[in-house]
Structure 1
Amino acid sequence: MRSLSLPPFRSVLMVSTACVALAACDDNFNLSPLNLDADLRGLGGGFNTTAAAQNLADRPRPDDRGVISYPNYQVVVAERGETVRQIAGRLNLDANALAAFNGVDADVALRRDEIVALPSRVAEPSPATGAVTTGPIQPPTVNVTTLASDAIDRAGEQTRTPAATQPSPQTGAEPGLHRVARGETAFQIARLYDVPVAALAEWNGLGSDLTVREGQQLLIPVAGATPPSPAATTAPGEGSSTPTPPSARAPLPAAVATPAAAAPTPPVPAPDLGTPSTPATSAPFIYPVTGTIIRAYNPGRNEGIDIGVPAGTSVKAAAAGTVAAITQNTNGAQIVVIRHTGNILTVYVNVDELTVAKDDSVSQGQAIAKVSSGDPSFLHFEVRDGLESVDPADFLP
Structure 2
Amino acid sequence: MTGTLNGFTRLVAASSALALLAACNGPMDADLRGGFGGFSTADAALGVAASRPSPDNRGIISYPGYQVVVARRDDTVNDVAARVGADPAVLARYNGLNLGDRLNDGAVLALPSRVSEPSPATGSPGTGPIMAPSDVGFTQMAGSAIERAADKEISVATLPPSSPGQPARQVGEEPIRHRVVRGETAYTVARLYGVSVRSLSEWNGLDANFTIREGQYLLIPLVSENGTVARPPESTTAPGVGSPTPLPPSASKPLPAESPAALATAPVVPKTDSGKTIAPDLSKEQAAPSGKLGYPVQGRIIREYEKGKSDGIDLAADPGVPVKAAGSGTVAAIIQDTDNRSVIVVKHADNLLTLYSNVEGITAKKGDSVERGQQIAKIATDGTPYLHFEVRKGLDTVDPMTYLK
TM-score range (shorter-chain normalised) is: 0.3 to 0.5
TM-score normalised by L of structure 2: 0.38
Larger Rg: 1
TM-score normalised by L of structure 1: 0.38
